[in-house]
């Protein structure tokens, strides 16, 4: 907040500006985390597991993420936080009921696309 406070023009309420800064920061963080390469240790037990080749499941996941990319920034932020395991109460900026309503609408968009 303090880095960008000079850019606050006063056209909106301070709380609205702070909310947008928080959302944009969260989305930027999520994008960085997705791009970050994560190292995973390989256990010998893991190597013995059969390899799943469920191409239909993989295709569905790819379609889902492609559709998520087409959502607007706010909807994308909400659905990505939800997919990360955040509850409706933990998604800030809205009431739990409002997040629930938005999630229903987002799910409908994802189903129809």
**pTM for this model (two decimals):** 0.47
Q: What 3-state class would DSSP assign to 61?
A: helix
For residue 11, CA distances in Å to 17, 51, 94, 96 come to 9, 56, 21, 27
pLDDT band at 83 (very low <50, low <70, confident <90, very high): confident
State whether the Cα torsion 87-108-79-11 is positive or negative.
negative
The residues, any chain, with a CB within 8 Å of residue 88's CB and separated by 6 or more, are 96, 97, 99, 100, 103
Segments forming the whole domain that contains residue 100: 5-112
pLDDT tens digit sequence for 2-35? 666 777 777 778 777 788 888 888 888 888 877 7
State the Cα–Cα distance between residues 68 and 107, nearest whole angstrom. Answer: 10
Count of the separate structural domains present in the chain: 1
**Structural tokens at position 19:** 């909310």
**Structural tokens at position 60:** 């569905």
Could you tell me the end-to-end alpha-carbon distance of the chain, in angstroms, rounded to an integer?
Answer: 36
pLDDT tens digit sequence for 48-71? 555 556 778 888 888 888 888 888
pLDDT band at 43 (very low <50, low <70, confident <90, very high): low
- Helices marked H in the chain — which ranges? 14-35, 44-47, 55-69, 73-83, 96-112
> Would you say 113 and 67 are in contact if contact means Cβ atoms under 8 Å apart?
yes
């Amino acid at each position: 907040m303090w880095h960008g406070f000079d850019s606050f023009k006063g056209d909106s309420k301070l709380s609205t500006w702070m909310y947008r800064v928080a959302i944009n920061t969260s989305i930027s963080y999520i994008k960085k985390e997705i791009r970050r390469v994560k190292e995973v240790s390989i256990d010998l037990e893991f190597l013995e597991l059969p390899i799943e080749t469920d191409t239909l499941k993989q295709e569905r996941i790819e379609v889902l993420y492609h559709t998520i990319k087409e959502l607007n920034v706010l909807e994308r932020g909400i659905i990505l936080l939800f997919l990360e395991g955040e509850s409706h109460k933990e998604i800030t900026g809205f009431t739990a009921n409002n997040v629930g309503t938005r999630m229903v609408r987002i799910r409908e968009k994802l189903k129809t696309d």
